[in-house]
A and B are shown apart, each in its own frame.
Chain A
Amino acid sequence: MQVWFAKFKADFKLNFIDSARWKWLMEGLGNTLKITFFSLLIGLVLGVVVAAVRSTYDKNKEVMAKHKGVGYYVFSVVNAICKLYLTVIRGTPVVVQLLIMYFIIFATSREDVLIATIAFGINSGAYVAEILRGGIMSIDNGQFEAGRSLGFNYVQTMFYIIIPQVFKSVLPTLCNEFIVLLKETSVAGYVGVMDLTKAGDLIRGRTFSAFMPLIAVALIYLVLVVVLTSLVGVLERRLRRSER
Chain B
Amino acid sequence: MKKIVSLILAVLLIASTMVAFSACKKDGDKLVMATNAAFPPYEYKDGDNFAGIDVEIAQKIAEKLGMELEIVDVDFGAVLTGVAEGKYDMGMAGITVTDTRKQTMDFSDTYATGIQVIIVNDGSAITSLDDLFNFDAETGDPVSLKNADIRIGVQENTTGDIYSSDDITNWGFNNLNEDGSVNGEDRVKRFKTGAEAVTALKNNQVDCVIIDNEPAKSFVAANTGIHILEGDNEYAIEDYAICVKKGNTELLTKINQALAELKADGTIAAIVAKYIKAN
B190 engages A207 (CB within 8 Å): no
> Which applies to chain A's interface (DSSP): helix, strand, loop or mixed?
helix
Complex-state Cα separation, A110 to B207, whole angstroms: 10
Residues of A near B200 (CB, < 8 A) are 103, 192
**Residue of B with least CB distance to A190:** B192
Q: Which residues of B contact A159 (CB under 8 A)?
A: none
Tell me which residues across on chain B come within 8 A of A205, comparing CB atoms: 76-77, 80-81, 156-157, 161
B105 touches A103 (CB 8 A): no
Taking CB atoms, residues of chain B closer than 8 Å to A183 are: none
Q: Which residues on A sit within 8 Å (CB–CB) of B156?
A: 189, 198, 201-202, 205
Q: Are A208 and B101 in contact (CB under 8 A)?
A: yes
**What is the distance, in angstroms, from A115's C-beta to the closest C-beta of chain B?**
10
A204 & B81 in contact (Cβ 8 Å cutoff) = yes
Q: How far is the CB of B163 from chain A (nearest CB, A)?
A: 12
Task: Fill in one digit per residue for A117-151: 1 if any B CB lies within 8 Å of its CB, else 0.
Answer: 00000000000000000000000000000000000
Range, interface on chain A:
20 to 34
CB distance from A11 to the nearest CB of B (A): 11
Bound-state CA distance A210–B156 (Å) is 16
- Bound CA–CA A100/B189 (angstroms): 17
> A-B contact count, CB below 8 Å?
69
B80 contacts across to A, CB distance below 8 A: 205, 208
A201–B157 contact, CB under 8 A?
Answer: yes
Q: Report whether B191 and A210 are in contact in the complex, using a CB–CB cutoff of 8 Å.
A: no
Contact B205 A198 (CB under 8 A): no
> Is B101 a contact of A192 with CB atoms below 8 Å?
no
Residues of B within 8 A of A109 (CB): 205
A194 to chain B, nearest CB (A): 6
The verdict on B279 contacting chain A, using a C-beta distance below 8 Å, is no
Q: Which of A159-207 contact B (CB under 8 A)?
A: 189-192, 194, 198, 201-202, 204-207
Residues of B within 8 A of A27 (CB): 186
Q: Is A92 an interface residue (CB 8 A)?
A: no
Which of B75, B84, B203, B204 has the most CB atoms of chain A within a 10 A radius of its CB? B203
Determine whether B217 belongs to the interface, using a CB cutoff of 8 Å to chain A: no
Count chain B CB atoms within 10 A of each CB in A202, A205, A206, A208 and give the residue with the most: A208
Question: Across the interface, which residues of A come within 8 angstroms of B162, CB to CB?
Answer: 206
Report B's interface with A, CB cutoff 8 A.
Answer: 75-77, 80-81, 83-85, 100-101, 104-105, 151, 153, 156-157, 161-162, 186, 189-192, 196, 199-200, 203-205
Closest 6 CB pairs of A and B: A205-B157, A205-B77, A192-B189, A208-B84, A107-B203, A208-B104
Binding site for B on A (CB under 8 A): 27, 102-103, 107-110, 112, 189-192, 194, 198, 201-202, 204-210
Identify 16 new A-B residue pairs, CB closer than 8 A, beyond the known A107-B203, A205-B80, A207-B104: A103-B196, A107-B205, A108-B205, A112-B205, A189-B190, A190-B196, A192-B200, A198-B156, A202-B190, A205-B77, A206-B100, A206-B162, A208-B83, A208-B84, A209-B81, A210-B81
